[in-house]
Amino acid sequence: MTSPAPRPSPRGFDHLDTWVFDLDNTLYPHHLNLWQQVDARIRDFVADCLGVDKDEAFRIQKDYYRRFGTTMRGMMTEHGVRADDFLTFVHRIDHSPLEANPAMGAAIERLPGRKLILTNGSQDHADAVLKRLGIGHHFEAVFDIIAAELEPKPAPGTYARFLDRHGVDPTRSAMFEDLARNLAVPHQLGMTTVLVVPDGTRDVVREDWELEGRDAAHVDHVTDDLTGFLEELAKRRTPGPA
């Protein structure tokens, strides 16, 4: 009987000069459930647009999310919805649950090199989140769904556009994400990958598949405390591969 191949050692951080972060449920804690507001707005948009009840809208929403990467992409592909109409409606939410996080800001500032955001959300939403967190000035740029030509992660083309636009060498970069499936392509490209998972002591509103993947081969590191993880990196950067 053949034994399974051993999992390769996780990639380290000592060779990196670029740090790429997802936005929602990554730069703020999952348990704030801010995305639940967006989720409800998406359901309402689908219901109004397609003339269906909320239960059917929810089913369609989640089906498109899984198949197309975002519900918006599904609505555009299947029903000709305009991206601007969708984004304006669904991101009209209350950002007040977010509080300034100076500790995270200080930890990000101490990372050597460039810091960028790669999100499936809009620039306006990213700006609102970063303003509430008080960390926007630490980031060189936000690459949003419009910059991605409306093709969301985990589509390979989105990462290619991001790397090209910002001149990023993936082999010298790290990617922080809350969805394991969005780390597969970055890892394939040579990035060190970090999965940010919910604090196990808090209730979160997520689907089961969104919480899967922490043992996947394309996930190098897992943390439920991004600020603490970054603080530790600032003190002692893990040795990278020879």
Listed ranges 62-66, 75-79, 93-97; the one with the highest mean pLDDT: 75-79
Looking at residue 130, its pLDDT comes to: 97
Q: Mean pLDDT, the chain, as a whole number? A: 89
State the pLDDT at residue 30.
77
Please tell me whether the peptide bond between 154 and the residue prior to it is cis, using omega within 30 degrees of 0: yes
55 pLDDT more than 60: yes
Window from 53-62, 103-112, 159-168, 203-212 with minimum mean pLDDT: 203-212
Going 129 to 130 to 132 to 133, the CA torsion angle's sign is: positive
What is the length of the chain? 242
Distance of CA 217 to the CA centre of its chain: 18
pLDDT band at 81 (very low <50, low <70, confident <90, very high): very high
> Which two structure tokens, joined as six digits, stand for 28?
């703020």
- In this prediction, residue 1 carries a pLDDT of 46
> Which pLDDT belongs to residue 7?
64
Of 128 and 3, the one with more pLDDT: 128
Q: How many CB atoms lie within 10 A of CB 2?
A: 4
Give the per-residue pLDDT at 9.
84
Whether the pTM exceeds 0.95: the reply is no
Q: What are phi and psi of 238, to 5 degrees?
A: -65, 135
Q: What is the DSSP letter of 31?
A: G
pLDDT band at 31 (very low <50, low <70, confident <90, very high): confident
Structure-model confidence comparison of residues 214 and 141, the more confident one: 141
pLDDT of residue 242: 43
175-214 pLDDT, tens digit per residue, is 999 999 999 999 999 999 999 998 765 455 556 555 567 7
Domains of the chain: 18-28+99-235 (3.40.50.1000), 35-90 (1.10.150.450)
Q: How much of the chain is in helix, strand and coil states, percent to nearest 5?
A: 45, 10, 45
Contact in structure between 88 and 216 (CB atoms under 8 Å) = no
Write down the pLDDT at residue 196: 94
pLDDT, residue 17, reads: 96
Q: Which residues contact 115 (CB under 8 A, 6 or more apart)?
A: 18, 19, 20, 21, 108, 138, 139, 140
Residue 238 has pLDDT above 50, yes or no: no
> Pseudo-torsion of CA 66, 68, 69, 71, nearest 10°?
-80
**CA torsion angle for 121, 114, 27, 215 (degrees, to 10)?**
100
Torsion of CA 141, 64, 30, 96, to 10 degrees: 70
Q: Kindly state the percentage of the chain with pLDDT values over 90.
A: 74
Q: What is the mean pLDDT of residues 72-89?
A: 93
Residue 89 reports pLDDT greater than 50: yes
Name the nearest CA neighbour of 213 among 183, 175, 236, 172.
183
Give the span between the Cα atoms of 22 and 239, in whole angstroms: 24
